[in-house]
Amino acid sequence: MNQTIKIAVDAMGGENSPEKVLKGIQIHSNSSENVFYNIFGDKDKIEPIIKKIKFNLNNCKIIHAKNIIHDTDSPLSAAKKGKDTSMWLSIESLKREDSDAIVSAGNTGALFVIAKLNLKMIEKIDKPALSALWPNKSGMNIVLDLGANIECNEKNLIDFSLMGSALHKSLFENEESKVALLNIGSEEMKGNNVIKNTYQKLNEQTNPLFKFKGYIEGNHIMDGDVNVIVTDGFTGNIALKTAEGTANFITSELRNTMKSSILGKISAILNFKNLRKFKNKLDPRHYNGAILLGLDKPVIKSHGSTDEVGFANSLKVCEKIIKGNLIDKIKKNII
């Protein structure tokens, strides 16, 4: 019998919470086994929703938290709110080993600060990195860092390569992890000194967890030739936001085109299945769930504006990395 995994859930973070969080747990629990949810939040707000949506209480526990961290709070002010917030208590549950991982759709900066205050860094890792799933032609990329570190040195980028590959192996155990450095060109002489020095070091050393494939340019991220893309947080965050904006623009323009004329509407009906596949491929809810790598416990950040489907997907990512022994893979392979 598989061992039950326990996920701590900050029920009060993000838009339309706690309703979307509870509905997301419902969706996830319907497709998963041996998962228990420690749900932290205001019982006065949670209990009426539980009655309304007929929430199953057999595989969860509601832990009351009277205080809430808002999106408008600075990381410092959020940390100063005390230990009675749903975010702090959920992370503390992880620290006490009452839970195996935490998922929150709340304030990103606050989540990082509170996580770092409560949890230890993995030995030999200097900086945490925010990583996420990103679709490509043949499957999925892991991209990091997406904003945790504006500036990085060679060791940080090498650590990100290892951590990203460990995450990739945890999620897609039958695939080979292939690492590339995001750069302004594919030639060895391109890029700044940090990128070039990192390239040389990764080229000279071997790691059983991944194969180094050199540089990749932004316009080839989705080609599928590599699946772990490494960069600093400044570049990674811009790349992510650009990709999200482009995907939204394409789907919006396609929708408008299909509705603008009789011919467009007929075409939409005839190509309904293909259009649905295309829409699903670009739907960010299906890739929801960023992971803060480098801490000795899994911390997963759900997008604040996602709905219950997106939140359920962040829980699925959480479940996979626990079952895939992500932290052990990083510890085993760190140089």
Label residue 233 exposed, middle or buried (CB < 10 Å: 0-12, 13-18, 19+).
buried
- CATH number assigned to the domain comprising residue 66: 3.40.718.10
114 and 185 fall within a common domain: no
139 and 271 fall within a common domain: yes
132 and 250 fall within a common domain: yes
Q: What is the pLDDT of residue 276?
A: 67
70 and 147 fall within a common domain: no
Domain span at residue 15?
1-124+294-325
Global pTM exceeds 0.85: yes
138 and 211 fall within a common domain: yes
16 and 53 fall within a common domain: yes
DSSP helix/strand/coil, 101: strand
In a domain, 60, yes or no: yes
Number of domains forming the structure of the chain: 2
Tell me how far apart the alpha carbons of residues 268 and 35 are, in angstroms, rounded to a whole number. 40
In a domain, 334, yes or no: no
285 and 216 fall within a common domain: yes
Give the helix/strand (H/E) hosting 41. Answer: strand 35-41
Query: Could you tell me how far CA 205 lies from the centroid of its own chain?
Result: 28
Per-residue pLDDT of the chain (335 residues; tens, 9 = 90+): 468 999 999 999 999 999 999 999 999 999 888 999 999 999 999 999 998 988 888 899 999 998 999 989 898 888 888 789 999 999 999 999 999 999 999 999 999 999 999 999 999 999 999 998 888 888 889 999 998 888 999 999 999 999 999 999 999 988 999 999 999 988 877 888 999 999 999 999 888 889 999 999 988 998 999 999 999 999 988 988 888 787 778 777 777 776 777 766 666 565 656 656 656 666 777 878 899 999 999 999 999 989 999 999 999 999 999 999 999 999 988 77
In a domain, 54, yes or no: yes
Looking at residue 97, what DSSP letter applies?
T
Q: What is the pLDDT of residue 83?
A: 85
